[in-house]
Amino acid sequence: MNLKRYCILLLTAAGLVAPLSAAAANCPALLDHSFQRLQDSAPQSLCQYQGKVLLVVNTASFCGFTNQYEGLEAVYDKYKDRGLVVVGFPSNDFGDQEPGSNKEIADFCRTTYGIKFPMMAKTDIAAPKTHPFYKQLIAKSGAAPKWNFHKYLIDRRGNTVESFNTLTAPDSRSLIAQIERRLAEKP
């Protein structure tokens, strides 16, 4: 049990906070992070995706790979009913290719690519300010993003993380094969 959960349990026992839901209490450590949602800054816990296969992607609106949004949305649409969630993390860390505000990014994603998969607010991906969630992804996969549209595939238990570089298209055979393999696993 991590320190955060232990403290919450102590505060709950003292009647100072509401009890954790069963879902939050069983959340894998990798998913135990919260972010602001891109569209409205509402807090979003990644724990809500436990039991799902996650494809995590750092995105940018003004990159030569921005057209990967189309493929990401198509993969999400095809596999979401089987348990895949694509989660986008806009970042301005690579080539200053995401300079806009969260609202500008959300509008661009919606109007240009019709993005419906979850998008989080701008996030620091690269060192030295790497977000702790990305630090864990890097540690578990052994690969750090070197550019925009780097992809991490997380299994349903939040244990296994596979890395796919920017050049791997969302509909590539290798990525689709791993998505289907992970979706076939029991939660």
Task: Tell me how far apart the alpha carbons of residues 75 and 154 are, in angstroms, rounded to a whole number.
Answer: 15
Q: What is the pLDDT along the chain (187 residues), one digit of tens a residue?
A: 555 555 455 544 555 544 444 445 789 999 999 999 999 999 999 999 999 999 999 999 999 999 999 999 999 999 999 999 999 999 999 999 999 999 999 999 999 999 999 999 999 999 999 999 999 999 999 999 999 999 999 999 999 999 999 999 999 999 999 999 999 998 7
The reply to whether 63 belongs to the active site is yes
- Boundaries of every domain in the chain: 27-184
Q: Which of 134, 131, 125, 121 shows the shortest CA–CA distance to 37?
A: 121
Task: Tell me how far apart the alpha carbons of residues 120 and 11 are, in angstroms, rounded to a whole number.
Answer: 29
Residues whose CB falls within 8 Å of the CB of residue 93, separated by 6 or more in sequence, listed in order? 58, 124, 125, 126
The alpha carbon of residue 99 and the mean position of all alpha carbons in its chain are separated, in whole angstroms, by 20
- Tell me which of 27, 47, 63, 109 is the catalytic residue: 63
Level-2 CATH architecture, domain 27-184? 3-Layer(aba) Sandwich (3.40)
Q: Dihedral of CA 51/42/137/139: which sign? A: negative
Q: Return the H-helix or E-strand segment holding 89.
A: strand 84-90
Task: Flag whether the pTM goes above 0.85.
Answer: yes
